[in-house]
Amino acid sequence: MVRTPHGAVRGRYEHGIAVFRGIPYAAPPFGSRRFRPPEPPEPWDGVRDAGAFGPTPPKPPYSEAFARYLSDPVIAGDDCLNLNVWTPAPGPAARLPVLVWLHGGALTRGSSAVPVYDGRTFARDGVVCVSVNYRLGVEGFGLFPDAPPNPGLHDQLAALRWVHETITAFGGDPGNVTLAGQSAGAISAGALIAAPQAQGLVRRAVLQSGPPETLERDKVRRMVRRMANRLKIPATAEAFAAVDRDLLLRTQADIGRLSSPVLGGPSFGIVEDGDLVPRDPLRALADGEAARDVGLLMGWTRDEYRLWLVPGGLLDRVDRLGAVALAGAMARCHAGHEVPRRYRALHPDAGTAEIVGQMVTDHLLRIPLHRLADARPGSSYVYEFAWPSLLSGLGACHALELGFVFDTGDVPESAKLAGEGAPQELADAMHAAWVRFAATGDPGWQPWDDTRPVRIFGDGPPHIAYGPRDPEVALWSAVPTVPEPTPASDARPPGAERASAVRRLRRSVGARRR
């Protein structure tokens, strides 16, 4: 039993690790709290049972094609702003390092109940692990004229404050907290460490497959408007709150089915709000304006794009689209004809889909992380996960590394991406690097400097490669990684022809998905 600021909770010992699941860190975000910043939970009397995962936030299921590879449990209930704690030594005497985990899922899916994210291995190795649920999709990242922006990000901040105030009772050190996330979780972590309200709550951060970024407000508004048009309601929080929750989720899934990192399209995301996100977080971190003393561990997978394109046969579809797909990628990345031509020269045996996928991955993910590391030498560490899945076509795809990070290759959900028989020695090495970083700030290799060291986790022992992505990085020297907002105008904007190629690409791929 451990006492929190809102009441006592009772966990379970599992294999020598104390586990507390489903602890509320904020009140249920429904009724009058819908689309609003989180509020503290109501205190409870007695001892609250913390033996099972709490409710998951509302979310649509993955499509059948993606559900083959990704697990996403659904647990019913309104009390969905909850977290879980794994600790080897509950009680204030231990003062162990803490790792706070923010799951991925494009800010529309995922939860802390995914079996791959079992924190027992971190606790086994002396790190208190906390995993967090937060509002998703239109509930957490919709943009309305009558509600504050970014409620899902405010949820994460509330969870961080809970950790700061409470984790000592679970054996953790509030002065040694590492905030870690993958994909949308990494984007969120980047925004939080740059947020003025989060200063002093985080000592280190891990950004895996997601750079600090914000979306253009109009892109998020378009997603909300399209949902509103489909539902035949005003695009207001008040109107959305009156819609049946299941219908809202089905509409969100249908409107968002053509949005992806490769295809672009309207989507949900973090926006600049003049408060929690006063400016683009990548610029704030790269300029040294925010979180100067926060150490960074950053990484990506070699073939990120394959998870976006392999399910449903989209990889072959993009290959057949040829020039249309390349034109769409150029528009997506704000690049001219010279960029794909030079990618062809660097990778003469690559098909169109691989060129498109690597271009988009580099522009949206690797280039910003390189830029961030360049701005913070000596306190940044960079790695690449390069081990290919044992399943055909996936390669070293997005999210494959998570079973290795958590050392949970023994759970069936990890095998959905990795296949059966993934190498335990690779999990030992990658998990140990994250443990070391959370404990000491040094994952075990050379920090970033002018030689651009990247730790490669692939076949064989991990090793350092110097500037392995430098040829691709050089191709983008004249292309902005964070485009400036486009001023409102009635004139047809530059690049509109390439933008129409993106629409043709989305329509072509959408026909295949249907």
234 and 269 part of one domain: yes
How far apart CA 124 and CA 122 sit, in angstroms, is 5
274 and 381 part of one domain: no
177 and 212 part of one domain: yes
Beta pairing partners, 177: 98
Q: What is the pLDDT along the chain (514 residues), one digit of tens a residue?
A: 999 999 999 999 999 999 999 999 999 999 999 999 999 999 999 999 999 999 999 999 999 999 999 999 999 999 999 999 999 999 999 999 999 999 999 999 999 999 999 999 999 999 999 999 999 999 999 999 999 999 999 999 999 999 999 999 999 999 999 999 999 999 999 999 999 999 999 999 999 999 999 999 999 999 999 999 999 999 999 999 999 999 999 999 999 887 777 767 778 999 999 999 999 999 999 999 888 999 999 999 999 999 999 998 888 888 887 777 777 778 778 888 888 899 999 999 999 999 999 999 999 999 999 999 999 999 999 999 999 999 999 999 999 999 999 999 999 999 999 999 999 999 999 999 999 999 999 999 999 999 999 999 999 999 999 999 999 999 988 665 544 443 333 333 334 444 454 455 455 455 444 4
Residue with tokens 């290919």: 388
Is 487 a domain residue? no
Cα distance from N-terminal residue to C-terminal residue, the chain:
51
Q: What is the DSSP secondary structure assignment for residue 260, as one 8-state letter?
A: B
* 481's tokens: 């990684």
How far apart CA 293 and CA 193 sit, in angstroms, is 10
CATH of the domain at 136: 3.40.50.1820
392 and 320 part of one domain: yes
Is 318 a domain residue? yes
How far apart CA 248 and CA 80 sit, in angstroms, is 17
124 and 162 part of one domain: yes
What distances in angstroms separate CA 99 from CA 88, 91, 191, one per listed residue?
Answer: 13, 17, 17
CB atoms within 10 A of CB 421: 9
Residues assigned a catalytic role: 183, 304, 398
If we measure between CA atoms, which residue out of 205, 183, 209, 182 comes closest to residue 195? 205
The pLDDT assigned to 429 comes to: 98
What are the backbone dihedrals phi and psi of residue 194, each rounded to the nearest 5 degrees, phi first?
-85, -10
What secondary structure, in 3-state letters, does 290-350 show? CCCCCEEEEEEECCCCHHHHCHHHHHHHHHHHCHHHHHHHHHHCCCCCHHHHHHHHHCCCC
Q: How many domains does the chain have?
A: 2
| Strands of the sheet with 2-4, listed across from one edge | 2-4, 7-10, 47-49
Q: What is the DSSP secondary structure assignment for residue 109, as one 8-state letter?
A: S
96 and 169 part of one domain: yes
359 and 260 part of one domain: no
| Dihedral angle computed from the Cα positions of residues 202, 207, 211 and 216, in that order, rounded to the nearest 10 degrees | -60
What counts of helices (H) and strands (E) characterise the chain? 20, 14
Is 449 a domain residue? yes
Helix orientation angle between 323-332 and 496-513, rounded to the nearest 10 degrees = 120
pLDDT one-digit tens code per residue, 45-66 = 999 999 999 999 999 999 999 9
pLDDT one-digit tens code per residue, 411-458 = 999 999 999 999 999 999 999 999 999 999 999 999 999 999 999 999
Is 258 a domain residue? yes
The pLDDT assigned to 85 comes to: 98
343 and 270 part of one domain: no
Which of 293, 327, 355 delimits the end of a domain?
293
CB 48 within 8 A of CB 9: yes
CB 425 within 8 A of CB 359: no
Q: Where are the alpha helices (DSSP H) in 125-176?
A: 137-141, 151-166
279 and 171 part of one domain: yes
Structural domain span for residue 127: 1-293
Is 488 a domain residue? no
259 and 397 part of one domain: no
39 and 136 part of one domain: yes
How far apart CA 117 and CA 103 sit, in angstroms, is 8
Is 380 a domain residue? yes
- Per-residue b/e over 261-278, b at no fewer than 16 CB within 10 Å? bbbbbbbbbbbbbeebbe
Beta pairing partners, 96: 172
Is 425 a domain residue? yes
92 and 223 part of one domain: yes
Which of 293, 316, 338 delimits the end of a domain?
293
Q: Is the dihedral of CA 337, 341, 346, 348 positive or negative?
A: positive
How far apart CA 171 and CA 99 sit, in angstroms, is 12
CB atoms within 10 A of CB 31: 10
Is 275 a domain residue? yes
Which of 258, 293, 328 delimits the end of a domain?
293
